[in-house]
Amino acid sequence: MKFCSTNKKSGLVSFKEAILKGIADDGGLFMPTEIPKLSKDFFNNISSLSFQEISYTVARVFLGDEIPSQTLKQIIDDAINFEAPLVEIDENIKVLELFHGPTLAFKDFGARFMARTMSYFREQSNHEATILVATSGDTGSAVANGFFNIEGIKVVLLYPSEKVSRIQEQQLTTLGGNISALEVEGTFDDCQRMVKEAFADKEITSKITLSSANSINIARLLPQSFYYFSAYFQLKDRSKSLIFSVPSGNFGNLTAGLIAYEMGLPVERFIAATNINDVFPVFLKTGIFNAKASIQTISNAMDVGNPSNLARIIFLYGNPQSIAEKIFSCSFSDAETKNGIKDLYSKSAYIIDPHGAVGYLALKDYISQTGLKSYNGIVLETAHPAKFPDIVEETLGVKINLPENLKSCLEKGKVAVKISNDVKELKKILLS
């Protein structure tokens, strides 16, 4: 399969070229030239497949013969060696827990798959690479863990100073080895801009091989579609309308769901749940997109004022009216988010993190507006609540036990270089 740029101004490339480049030569994001439908047999027999077998079937469609079948199976078995269980809240609402990987966040799926596929391609070409990543929280830790000690690959993480949780920062800054952390005096949008400017700098790209592991990289995005199929597999009654509510910041997770839908997954509606960084809901309502500076919230991984993956959604569906036929979107304040955490806990004793709480509220809002009585509403729970203990414990008045891998990173010393949000400082570091 070939991949093209969302800007449609550069040539077609293979999956290998797309993953190693990260961003197309014209500055666009890579997308498959076509999204093939999975067979009816796949959906009829999905109950007999393991999560890893589902993942392999989906990946094979996009990778073709670029990675041998047995190697691809090994990559998936190694990268996705944890599950994504569907937890029933009531007869209509379920929570898809995506935090059972090593860094307790959904980014583990994409980061681990990408690290192993990139390592395979790098071994074939014998080129060293530098992965440059902007993170608003969980992306950085997942990428750092996924690429840790991968030979021939260095990782440089940019994160906004004082705008990630302490646990997230510890996960970003304590691995060492081939992982370097840069603490940027600015917002996530500044970090993302610096990454894009570095990719556009001919002096940098002429001297080092740069790639990205944000959701702008297609190899991060595709494996996130795996768990949408897995969620469908776990449903007891598949005859009801299927609705996914996706906590959304840079919109990679939502785009992965849309790819699954285009492959044949019978989704009735997607919900893009945002915090007060509401550029997307406003875009759907007005038809006008205005990027703006991000505002800090308690659901910090969603603090994005200029979501990159909007380019992919527009590539798929064109205008805001067509997008709105597939996606409902709404936004919530921090106070409302805390009330969502309380509401779900009081009704079902389920503890959800702030990002998942926004997804839960958005699903309730959509159901209230549509009046649906029977449905499969799946909220994507993108991070373990223990990653946000101050917020969740204060809101609920309960103590959350820290998983062991979080405890261990809190005991390590932070190692990070603080820089301004001027790309010139980043350039000096990359070329030094």
Strand-pair partners of 184:
160, 419
Largest Cα separation within the chain, whole Å, is: 60
Of 173, 211, 184, whose CA–CA distance to 23 is shortest?
211
Which one, of 23, 388, 6, 7, lies nearest residue 192 by Cα? 23
What whole-number distance in Å separates Cα of residue 297 and Cα of residue 166?
A: 14
Q: Are 124 and 401 in contact (CB under 8 A)?
A: no
Give the H/E segment covering residue 379.
strand 375-381
Tokens of residue 320, six digits: 């805001």
Cβ burial 51-65 (10 Å sphere, 16+ → b, else e): bbebbbbbbebbbee
Round the CA-based radius of gyration of the chain to a whole number and report it.
20
End-to-end CA distance of the chain: 37
Which residue among 107, 163, 196, 387 is the active-site one? Answer: 107
User: Is 184:419 a contact under the CB 8 Å cutoff?
Assistant: yes
The residue whose two tokens read 């690290």 is 115
Active site residue 285: no
Q: Active-site residues: which are they?
A: 107
